[in-house]
Structure 1
Amino acid sequence: MGVRGAKPSTSAAATSGGALVRTGERDALPYEAPEELSAGAARMWLGLLPDLIASGTFRESDGFLLVELCEMWSEAQEFRRALRAEPDKGGAEAKRLRAGYLQSMKLVMSIASEFGISPVARLRLGLMQVQGATLLGVLDGEA
């Protein structure tokens, strides 16, 4: 799962018209959404992936986790829309929808923090890389 295809060179991208995201000295893989994603999840994938690649927090092997993040977010939005569509829903159905939303969003927030998708998560990831060195290296006096 994840980003499909061979890693293109800059010259191959110019001739093929593939969508590449610049990541410092090298190009990243094309960032089309995997075919198995729902429409809402695919929109999130396309919105997140360029930033994740540019920040250096995404690797091709992270694709399966990003798929889950996008699908869980899409599922949470479906629960939310269902609750809003019928605000008078009460009892067991409303309770089920709220529980589904909360459970989905809990997983979304957990996975999102792994990618640094929040101010606090970015701070945490930033502390792990202090000007190109690792935090442990800085603490050991290597930087």
Structure 2
Amino acid sequence: MEDNATPQPSEPNNQNGRIPAAAGAAEHSAGRSLATYARPALIAGVVIAVVCVALLIIIFALDSFNAAAYSVTGKSIGDATDEARDIRELYTGARIGGMTALVISGVVAVAAGIVLYLNRGSAAPEDGEEYDLDDLTGR
């Protein structure tokens, strides 16, 4: 018999080779709509978190460089002078913003991961077609 992509009925209860919808499928309709936003939210959360980590590393390197350049002249960055305080506080806004964005993106990524984990295997394919391993491998 020749293999083709057309699903064949394997049991009398199945129509077109598809398994009928579960009885609780209507309950999960809100979860499915949330799951459609979870994958892009997970990707965005991870990308923003990586960018924030890179930003914080760059800020740390610049802050260290400024402190080292200031201390070359024999002054200490821990002094109570206005110049030392200005150097210490130079990247405070960027540091606070980077940490805030890192925490928020981490929370979004974790929440999206949890939603995807809880809805695994329950989402129907977008085009309405169901594929099994034989369809994907070409057997």
With structure 1 as the length reference, what TM-score do the two structures score?
0.35
Structure ranking higher on relative contact order (CA contacts 8 Å, 6+ apart): 2
Would you tell me which structure has more strand in proportion to its own residues?
1
